[in-house]
Amino acid sequence: MKSDDRPHDVAALGDEAQAESTFAALATPLVDEALAHNASIHADATPESLHQLRVALRRLRSLWWAYRPLLDKAENTRQRALYRFLADAAGRTRDWDILLELLAGKSDGSGESANVRDVPASLREARERALATSRETLINADIRNVLHDALASTSKELNTAPERHALRKFAAKRVRIAEKSLRKRMRKALRAKRADYAVLHDVRKSGKRVRYLIEFFGPVLADAGHGRTLRRLKNMQQCFGELNDVIASVALLRDNMNLFASEDEAREALAFLKGRRKERQCEAVRLLQKA
């Protein structure tokens, strides 16, 4: 089951729709999606199922960010921190999957890709240990009840609030704020040194937030240009996501150099990943310059 990145049908709620009463219609499909992916992880933890769970939880975090002005600040912060914690739990195994995929595709010098069997078994064993930890964390977190309770309590808070906000106006304002933050981070990244991965990562996070908000509220946003923005953000996410994958893999490999049979083998793998990181970074910078 892949994440549904189509705009939610909030337009069906009418021109007089209120932001408060629309929240549950937006959040419920995301909660259901996260729980479905969580269930599939316990049955068969494929790299895709782990990735899709993390995406669903990130989308939930972005939705709670969108509604932050209408919610209790401390509770909203706690909820978003919880989604990040759960996403990170799935992400730890996903990071191993990415590292293994990158190393399995390493060129052996003859122009041919190395076979997955060339990846040390100790790395695959480490991935399985990470998976066991991820599963245990998600089980202990009681994710089903956690997400349903969060949905119920937030919906109640919004629906019992004394003030009401027009959905169209509320959505447009939140998207504008997210877009302004993205432009600011893009300018900072272009001014930064080429090796400043942190600012590029900030661009990636801001871009995802804008994309998710447009997908949430797209049908009620008056600006027809959001369709073009969405396509541009998807391209950016692809490029910056690949860069982030390599950066995470470099960090993970550095922390686990002892899993290789020899120091030379570990250094060779690290050098390969650094080369990939440089390539991806140059692509990300070129994309920013064209934006």
Please list the alpha-helical segments (H only) found in the chain.
Answer: 19-43, 47-66, 73-104, 121-140, 143-159, 167-191, 197-217, 226-255, 263-290
Q: Hey, what CATH topology would domain 167-291 get?
A: CHAD domain (1.40.20)
Which pLDDT tens digits describe the chain residue by residue (291 residues)? 444 444 444 544 455 789 999 999 999 999 999 999 988 887 877 878 888 898 999 999 999 999 999 999 999 999 999 999 989 888 888 899 999 999 988 544 433 444 444 788 999 999 999 988 888 888 888 899 999 999 999 999 999 999 999 999 999 999 999 999 999 999 999 888 766 888 999 999 999 999 999 999 988 887 667 778 888 898 888 999 999 999 999 999 999 999 999 999 999 999 999 999 999 999 998 898 887
Q: pLDDT value at position 10?
A: 52
Give backbone dihedrals phi and psi of 113, rounded to 5 degrees, phi first.
-80, 140
Question: 18: helix, coil or strand?
Answer: strand
Using the 8-state DSSP alphabet, how is residue 8 labeled? P
d(CA 40, CA 92): 17
Residue type, 212: Y
Provide the terminal-to-terminal Cα distance of the chain, rounded to the nearest Å.
Answer: 32
Question: 166: helix, coil or strand?
Answer: strand
Enter the pTM of the model: 0.85
d(CA 165, CA 25): 16
Q: pLDDT value at position 27?
A: 96
Q: pLDDT value at position 70?
A: 96
Q: What token pair was written down for 261?
A: 């049979």
The domain spans of the chain are 18-165, 167-291
Domain at 18-165, CATH from 1.20.120, 3.40.1000, 1.25.60, 2.90.10: 1.20.120
Secondary structure of 113-125 as H, E, C letters: ECCHHHCCHHHHH
Q: pLDDT value at position 2?
A: 45
Map tokens 């808070």 to a residue: 157
b/e map 82-91, b = 16+ CB within 10 Å: bbeebbebbb
